[in-house]
Structure 1
Amino acid sequence: MPLTPEVLTANREAVAWLVSLDVSFAPDEEPWFTIDGIENPQQMGSDGSGGAFVLLPPQNVLYVSSEGRAGIIADTFEAFVQLIVARPYWLDILKFSGGGDLAEMRRAAEALEATLDDEDEINEAREEILKSLDLDDADDPVGALYEAIAASDAIVRATDGSPFTTLFNRFSIDNNPMLRNAAA
């Protein structure tokens, strides 16, 4: 049976562990964006930076940042949870994607993994979430993230009608001394 938001939120233990990976399933009450072709988008959760997770038909997960960027980050809800577990710093992978270059994203993922502050807590959260939801590890979370965003055709707009931009950012880990050194 595929993982759904309802199945996940019924599992209090998994929800608590996901909060430690910066994902909350308490959506904002006030809509602050629109999605072309989708009436009344239902936000299913958020992150600590004010971004929103929205489930789109059939099961795509859209991320809308509070900084005017948006895109589909997973083809299914289950792939979304696997991404969060495998790469809780997925948003930083996109920040250092070199404009959407998969090789740069893979370099960023390796460097970010090497610089985890509290690796023990994150690894415990990863294990507990996978176990409590009976999920497998993601095969290629960075590749899946890249494919989902590259194929994303959702047009998200601010309340003033201006469109959001892609989640791919122009930086690479070479722009960040700490990450550059971690990759060396």
Structure 2
Amino acid sequence: MTDHCLRLLRQHRRLAELAAFPFDFDLNRAVHGHAEPVRLASGGSLEAVAGSDTGGTYFVCADGSLLYADSEGSAGIIGSSVDEALETVIGLPGWRDLLHLAPADGETAILARVAEIEEEIREYHGIDEERAELRAALGLSDRSPVELLGMLHKALLRTEPGFLLLNADEGGAYDLLDPHPRPPLWESVRHEVAGDPAAEPLSTWVRLAAEQGMTELARVALIRRLDGIFMDQSLLRPGSSTDLGPAPLLGLAAEFERLGDLAQAERARGLHASLR
């Protein structure tokens, strides 16, 4: 875990002001916390260290990773440390408009989009001299936009399963910050089945994942399924029936209990009771 840059920002007002504007990493906004109470599904610690002018919050996790949660209900890891995340935030001041890009899109496309975003920013304020000053003061490398995009992409893909952010009061999960696909649970579980593995019930893969020590992966799959039902209760209509069949919620509750997640089990049972 490295927090060299965070210490310097906290010690030097000029650096903190530069980080806040124009790079939208404002230490003062951490005082007010996030817009709503949040927690990690894994139970790990969260420390709010900065905020953005759109109501987002930067959290340091127990292993030092930096998680960003926006005000619209999305969250994701943007660096394995504060230092790494600040390389991205400073090097790509429009990083939130680059989340759809991946290294596979190629250098030309990445550089073109970065240049477009930065020109838009320069219409309103400077970033070049400010970036050079802040990088030098914090001891950050002058990495290319392509390398920074690769670092960001790698960090985002680490969000699940260990850093799934929940609304602490209601238990629902935040969406991912990025749109990049993740493999289905069955691809991560070492088990052969006859036929289409996607046709197997979720409980099959959840139990196998738990048996193989992938508890958080199993938990994420269950929470996403429960959230899906909360958002679209038509998922509980068997076949062409027009009637809801809430029994699957009891199955989800039982799987949560096997994982020791009593809060999510109660959430599933509560929805079941309200639909009966």
TM-score, structure 1 as length reference: 0.79
Answer with 24-33 or 127-136: which moved more: 24-33
* Identical residues among aligned pairs (%): 19
The letter of the residue matching 1:146 is: H
- CA change 1:30–1:8 in 2 (3 A) is closer
User: Which stretch shifts more, 139-148 or 44-53?
Assistant: 139-148
Equivalent in the alignment of 2:56: 51
Q: Secondary structure at the match of 1:6?
A: helix
SS of structure 1 residue aligned to 2:15: helix
Q: Which residue of 2 aligns with 1:161?
A: 171
Q: Which of 144, 149, 158 is equivalent to 2:151?
A: 144
Partner of 2:42: 37
1:14 alignment partner AA = L
Q: Deviations over 1:100-138 (max 9, x none)?
A: 675188253243134333487211210110122222223
In structure 2, runs of 5+ residues without a counterpart are: 181-276
Residue in structure 2 matched with residue 15 of structure 1 by the alignment: 16
Q: Which ranges of 4 or more aligned residues in structure 1 deviate by more than 6 Å?
A: none
Check 1:47–1:102 CA distance in 2 against 1; reply closer, same or farther (3 A cut). farther
CA contact (8 A) 1:61 1:72 kept: yes
The secondary structure found in structure 2 opposite 1:141 is: helix
Q: What is residue 130 of structure 1 aligned with on the other side?
A: 135
Aligned to 1:182: none
Post-superposition Cα deviations, 1:70-105, rounded to whole Å, max 9, x if no partner, equal 0101111111111111101111111xx16x675188
Q: Which amino acid aligns with 2:6?
A: P
Higher mean C-alpha displacement, 100-109 vs 40-49: 100-109
1:81 counterpart residue number: 86
Q: Is the 8 A contact 2:5 2:138 kept in 1?
A: no
TM-score with structure 2 setting the length: 0.54
Maintained 8 Å contact 2:58/2:68 = yes
One-letter amino acid of the counterpart of residue 56, structure 2 = G
Amino acid at match of 2:130: A
| Equivalent-residue separation in structure 2 for 1:141 and 1:3 (angstroms) | 19
**Residues matched between the structures, number:** 167
User: 2: CA distance between counterparts of 1:115 and 1:86?
Assistant: 15
Larger Rg: 2
1:174 alignment partner in structure 2: none
Q: CA deviation at 1:63?
A: 0.4
Structure of greater relative contact order (alpha carbons < 8 Å, 6+ residues apart): 1
Indicate how the Cα distance of structure 1 residues 38 and 10 shifts in structure 2: closer, same or farther if over 3 A, else same.
Answer: farther
RMSD: 2.5
- Give the structure with the larger strand fraction: 1
Q: Could you say if the C-alpha distance between residues 2 and 39 of structure 1 is closer, same or farther in structure 2, counting changes exceeding 3 Å?
A: closer
Relative distance call for 1:84 and 1:114 in structure 2 (3 A) is same
